[in-house]
Structure 1
């Protein structure tokens, strides 16, 4: 392998290639300058990739960062999102420990392009950012993160635009190229052997070429969740329930902030992922080039969890402790307390199992003609077609260890009332020792509690939140460029674009028929303690009064072989033994539900089903400048993009509730098609000054806009009704017994405005050699509004179909906006000036400080930041690349982030925070020869996990525990 050395001529040619968007994606290149052949230069490995990254940033026409693959099919991390977190200002969220979604400068409204245009991802059909777990990293050769817009860039990112780039045949060396890789991965907690196979083949001839790459991998990812299993906080007054002086101060005007649900969950994610990328490229004539690309992904996954959950079931004071901590004043003259160690008197202890499955596929096709004549005009015509579909299921088995008598859950099969789980623990509450003072949240039980399989009963099962969705995308665009020979103005770029995206979602539940005497209904929540109306004719619905219940007793000892299993411990935080329903048997909801309660059928939920058609028409004009202002060289681009967006939203109209007991389903009585449109003009300006040959100053201004997640635009309205009563009946002129609308819930608001912001950038970059950079960047985002939950007044029909008044409806609204101001610092250097073996070292360090503010305040009235934005983030990477050995260790730090907003407490809301994290990854490879390499990768090698706390750092309510994963592999190049 040759060192990458450039003469001034070669440097000029390389710069031109980078600016043309070619060099960023290619592992090798060859060019000619006039009649002189330029030697083919190999640019593989960490050091070469590092140089390409800096070149892309240096010669970009906007504020941009980039990461390029070290070789074909070899991004430097396990996933695309993991790679992106190395860039200043980029933060990620994890799914089962793998990076899945991306924030740029604190905002998740980030659009993702594929080779410069829109793409359709099956994991996020309704939004503009894909789920990066869908996309196999080996198919991507480079990623650019544009932090300031240009007029010619496809609009869609509030804070940034990601451009995923794939190889094309003309990026290859002449002749045939073949590469392949095979690897084995094992997790520290999953204990499964996973594998990945990657293959690439390409051919480049004199005027045509083609390539095909494929990646297939299986993954078993383990993580554990301790603490609050279902987020449900409440402030319980001492006077409520037991009327107990919880802190012993002689009065009962204090309160306890508590979570209803606690538990320990084992979460395992199984993924099968296939990706294929094909490309054909040909010179039709000397001036006309044709490109065809196909990008296909297919991923099946099952997110399974099993564990033990304790809850209060009816919300009385249930924590007994000598260590109550006063946090803030309540509105009764007392204090609100929390507790870090306590004995919980649990009214229900249950074994919980769940399986969420996804089957998702996407295809993106690109056809493009490029014209480059001998005159000043050049241009292209491009057509894209995207198709994506996703099927999602959720299936739950809720089994009791307790009897149910603790909270009054009884069953009656006709022989009299008894607890829903007659063999379970009871009738007293279960003492559970709760402790959040150690490394992990823990729950302690009496010796041998839960060890007897005879005490378990599958009391409740259901399948909800299932949906099928599909989408299509069609784009036709034309772009042109006209060059000038004068000073300053070098060329004008212009273009027109038409895009159409259709999204359909059908949400459904599974219901089974139940008949008791004269009563019959379809049931979703098949619960052995639930009764079907007044079955004894006494006008009461009490089980003890004689009503018959629906479900059967399904003791674990009576279930089919393999359904019930013993679990010895749920991760590193516990070693208790319990029994659970094996979540794998829940993967097929129909099969499982029919085995317990036959006759299940699919029942559509019109309130959460929709169809949206989005049409965008845009035009842009961009002026490019290159010259000198006095003695100061500069480059600039100024222009604007006009976008008109048209929406046709099918909003379902809902009627009466269906004859379905224990489920939420209403009849669809019609559709309302809401058509609306809005227009945006987005100016953009970027200028770069070459203060010296190596020192650049950039400034940028731009307006940005992101269309909404379509699931926030559409759905249906559920109407809450109640008996009018005498006073309201007199006001409305109706019978007191008429059921009148009192409130509503709208799933999706078709009148929401898109995300809009104004962005400012100022940066300085010093390239003190070809492999080194020190940079400082300042940025500011003024965000017009946030999408949040709110209440609007709407006219909803009473039970007789007549609309008589406006009532409050909860839905998504455009709330008050906010700002993010920040600073980014970066330092890159290859230490190739050091002697001997030390010359192979290099480092990358960056730090981002991005405080933000919103209209929300916490319990003490202090302003809260924008959700999911960490004020501080940093990366530290040490790498080595010399001779046959390459090594890299990377640490990523992210400070606390606001995870969500909880209930109203004190002066504001209860903020739920994710504590700071530090993830460390490593990779190493050794070249056996020029064609064969062995490599080792480790992700999360320190087994970092997330603490989630409510308001106060010691008030940890949830922990997400991720595993360490190591990969060994072999890579070949032929």
Structure 2
């Protein structure tokens, strides 16, 4: 709600120092409050505008006053952010789209470029992430700790390189900005409609200043414990196969679904976050700031799965469509109904420490030094299970009717006595990410002719990403497998699972009941004498189990880590003046950056190729031990930029920007290991990572016209184009390997800099408050934006051009009402179909996410000056996520997460 608050102004000494820190430092860019001083005395009153309109005014002022093309969001008040996390709010900005996991925003794409192409910072610092790459997982940060966020769509010399999409800077609260004592807290309960569970969350923030405003302390805390459920009808992809049916009919190169599974996932996400900020301003020229941030985010889930795996050798009848796709099939020979249980735990921790000094050496010169360290750790290694039991069965699959879901009919048998064992394993990745950053920035106010100021500085970072994969040895995993030869299992291991209207929001699944069991109880039984004695060779089985410590997940010896050192220096020149009555500004800059990467790993050494049976098939002879391998790579770039704007008419701003930018390769693509295989001498193949990858390089042009026609109201139109080189894709190289004096030609598959891509698009944004309407309609307002983006790649095939991953149009509309003690908001977000990945693991075809539109609502009522009750509704229309392959009927996933409703209370003192 919009409110005018009168509070004591902090002393002038601290406030001036704070302005220096926010306007010139690297630590923060957006003030949490809109402050108007009434006079120049030390103890005066200030006016702070809060609520929806206040947040819109601050975001609009940021956009209007920025050197380049920048959009932002702002908290409505301290501790009050409009969505469950920052990603959910960022999607309201033109050009921004999000990927969701379990119904919660997690990754952000900007202007059609996926999460790996966008840099995310917190208070101007890069945060370590548990994504395993460069993409930042927004669900690790609680929204209650956040003050605002900026999306920088154009580049300057000062802005840290590493993004050809956008740089997103999240800001947190500062005690010297908050001022006198402030305490806020909130508590809410969330009802997950699909699971039927209630989940609690609460947060609090306390801030105060001492010693006449020279010292400030702010502490914040947020906790949530969310139980949810999702339902997924999925295939693992469509593969190309030849079919021979019982009637003698044969088909070549048909597209066949690999499987069809019904998956019910119950999940728990427990997040504990906190921050501590200390500020000290010994004089009006000097401010010290120390930050600490901590987030513990534990995700665990259980999947109960009814699965049917399609083996083309067992198919007795099939129907194909005009695309040579199998739309109906009957499988009757040695097929199976599988019951799967997957359990997973992924405890993650993110920590960050930082220190900032903002020193105004003179009226014209300011120096800002910043040091930060962050680390993120995800410990999923060996904490995910994959266990399979089932029985021989026959089934029919039908995807020919055009209905929302395929149908699968089979002989349902819920008798545990018929169920045997198949597969069991534990696996998962441990991921560690560490980042150290050091910055020194200087700003010199020149004011000589057109030259207004000069910004210059240096930057250093050292980042290390380590990934270790854990897995049960496959010899143990398959030890008890095979139907009908699998080990008989105790009936008490199984109970009947009731899916309770599986995928009812999409029309309903094929079955609502199947058997479920617990992975760990299943594996424990397989290690008992009763299970082992049922095998063909119990003695050999015991030897295998002892050798590999049962189902224990072991670290794979080919683990690797990639370290990356970056050194940079920049200079920006700001020119300003008036062309007649038209104010103008030009910021031109240059940034030099040198990057050094070191990829370290281990691999077995290829010793020889031997034709064992004199058949022409050569077997690879490898060393018994893994041996270390390390590769160093260095490259540098000179990155120019220019941002120009002019105000030809009052409140109308025209902008032009040109820049060159880079995005470094994903660290997970830079493994130094290569795996060599055997085979025919004319078709020897190998695969591996590529530690010598070059970064993506982009030339960018932006044009923007913006009209600020009223308070919290504007209309803008932007055009952008990006010419991207060194685009990374899966490629092959021909390499010669010499073994014992003989040279062999290998075709090696690895990521390579292969293609170039052109991206261009338009953004249209409109924001308006209807305060001129008669009461009570004068509380209405709206925000709307649309993004249209296209790409053209050198890799495009004439008859099958592929878009970039993440590229797609989007539309957003937010209607709100705010008057007196009442606030209400309805948000509509639509993301049109986009390609999520270029390949899926089964068939190699791309993965598309179809059009998805979601409606969220929220509202609040002020009981009095201190207490507010509020409600929220997420995905209130129960929209379904659909993924497909090459053709529309290549169903990959149909996911229902259901609506969520929250009711809570907020207190502020």
TM-score (norm 2): 0.88
Question: Could you tell me how far 1:686 is from its partner in structure 2?
Answer: 0.5
| Whole-Å separation in 2 of the counterparts to 1:668 and 1:224 | 44
Cα 1:39/1:380, change in 2 over 3 Å: same
Contact (CA 8 Å) 1:29, 1:172: kept in 2 or not? no
Cα 1:904/1:272, change in 2 over 3 Å: closer
Q: Which residue of 2 is the match for residue 145 of structure 1? A: 151
Counterpart of 1:820 (choices 753, 756, 759) is 759
Counterpart of 1:712 (choices 631, 646, 669) is 669
Q: How does 1:591-602 map to 2 (within 5 A)?
A: 599-600=549-550, 601-602=552-553
Contact (CA 8 Å) 1:401, 1:450: kept in 2 or not? no
Alignment coverage as a number of residue pairs: 857
Match status 1:793 vs 2:744: no
Counterpart of 2:856 (choices 893, 912, 921) is 921
| Whole-Å separation in 2 of the counterparts to 1:590 and 1:684 | 60
Match status 1:867 vs 2:805: yes
Cα 1:222/1:815, change in 2 over 3 Å: farther
SS in 2 for 1:93: strand
Contact (CA 8 Å) 1:890, 1:920: kept in 2 or not? yes
Match status 1:213 vs 2:201: no
Q: How does 1:796-807 map to 2 (within 5 A)?
A: 796=737, 804-807=743-746
Match status 1:353 vs 2:341: yes
Question: Could you tell me how far 1:236 is from its partner in structure 2?
Answer: 3.2
Contact (CA 8 Å) 2:296, 2:349: kept in 1 or not? yes
SS in 2 for 1:70: coil
Cα 1:318/1:691, change in 2 over 3 Å: farther
| Whole-Å separation in 1 of the counterparts to 2:472 and 2:330 | 38
SS in 2 for 1:141: strand
Q: How does 1:842-853 map to 2 (within 5 A)?
A: 842-853=781-792
Quick check: 686-695 or 630-639, which moved more?
Answer: 630-639
Contact (CA 8 Å) 2:840, 2:847: kept in 1 or not? no
SS in 2 for 1:851: strand
Q: Which residue of 2 is the match for residue 603 of structure 1? A: 554
Q: Which residue of 1 is the match for residue 627 of structure 2? A: 670
Contact (CA 8 Å) 1:606, 1:667: kept in 2 or not? no
Cα 1:214/1:743, change in 2 over 3 Å: same
Q: Which residue of 1 is the match for residue 233 of structure 2? A: 226
| Whole-Å separation in 2 of the counterparts to 1:358 and 1:791 | 35
What is the root-mean-square deviation in Å for CA atoms of aligned residues?
3.2
Contact (CA 8 Å) 2:267, 2:300: kept in 1 or not? yes
Match status 1:695 vs 2:652: yes
Question: Could you tell me how far 1:136 is from its partner in structure 2?
Answer: 1.2
Match status 1:362 vs 2:350: yes
What are the superposed Cα offsets for residues 18-46 of structure 1, whole Å, 9 maximum, x if unpaired? 86697834146464764497642122111
Q: Which residue of 2 is the match for residue 440 of structure 1? A: 405
Q: How does 1:746-825 map to 2 (within 5 A)?
A: 746=688, 748-796=689-737, 804-825=743-764
Extract unaligned runs of 5+ from structure 1.
Answer: 7-12, 246-251, 328-335, 404-424, 512-521, 531-542, 658-663, 729-740
Q: Which residue of 2 is the match for residue 181 of structure 1? A: 186
Q: Which residue of 2 is the match for residue 933 of structure 1? A: 868
Match status 1:570 vs 2:509: no
Match status 1:830 vs 2:731: no
Q: Which residue of 2 is the match for residue 942 of structure 1? A: 877
Q: How does 1:128-167 map to 2 (within 5 A)?
A: 128-167=134-173
| Whole-Å separation in 2 of the counterparts to 1:579 and 1:567 | 8
What are the superposed Cα offsets for residues 256-314 of structure 1, whole Å, 9 maximum, x if unpaired? 32112112111222111111111011112331110001111111111332211112235
SS in 2 for 1:81: helix
Contact (CA 8 Å) 2:699, 2:723: kept in 1 or not? yes
Q: Which residue of 1 is the match for residue 470 of structure 2? A: 508
Match status 1:970 vs 2:905: yes
Question: Could you tell me how far 1:904 is from its partner in structure 2?
Answer: 13
Question: Could you tell me how far 1:215 is from its partner in structure 2?
Answer: 0.6
Q: How does 1:521-600 map to 2 (within 5 A)?
A: 523-529=475-481, 553-559=487-493, 565=497, 567-572=499-504, 573-574=508-509, 576-582=511-517, 585=519, 599-600=549-550
Q: Which residue of 2 is the match for residue 291 of structure 1? A: 289
Q: Which residue of 1 is the match for residue 610 of structure 2? A: none
Q: Which residue of 2 is the match for residue 96 of structure 1? A: 102
Match status 1:120 vs 2:128: yes
Cα 1:910/1:467, change in 2 over 3 Å: closer
Question: Could you tell me how far 1:677 is from its partner in structure 2?
Answer: 0.5
Match status 1:686 vs 2:643: yes
SS in 2 for 1:942: coil
Q: Which residue of 2 is the match for residue 203 of structure 1? A: 208
Question: Could you tell me how far 1:811 is from its partner in structure 2?
Answer: 1.3
SS in 2 for 1:483: strand
What are the superposed Cα offsets for residues 303-338 of structure 1, whole Å, 9 maximum, x if unpaired? 3322111122355655534xx4212xxxxxxxx244
Q: Which residue of 1 is the match for residue 416 of structure 2? A: 453
| Whole-Å separation in 2 of the counterparts to 1:433 and 1:342 | 7
Cα 1:502/1:903, change in 2 over 3 Å: closer
| Whole-Å separation in 1 of the counterparts to 2:733 and 2:464 | 28
Contact (CA 8 Å) 1:210, 1:279: kept in 2 or not? yes
SS in 1 for 2:417: helix
Match status 1:65 vs 2:65: no
Contact (CA 8 Å) 2:259, 2:309: kept in 1 or not? yes
Cα 1:803/1:810, change in 2 over 3 Å: farther
Contact (CA 8 Å) 2:573, 2:589: kept in 1 or not? yes
Match status 1:642 vs 2:592: yes
| Whole-Å separation in 2 of the counterparts to 1:377 and 1:869 | 43
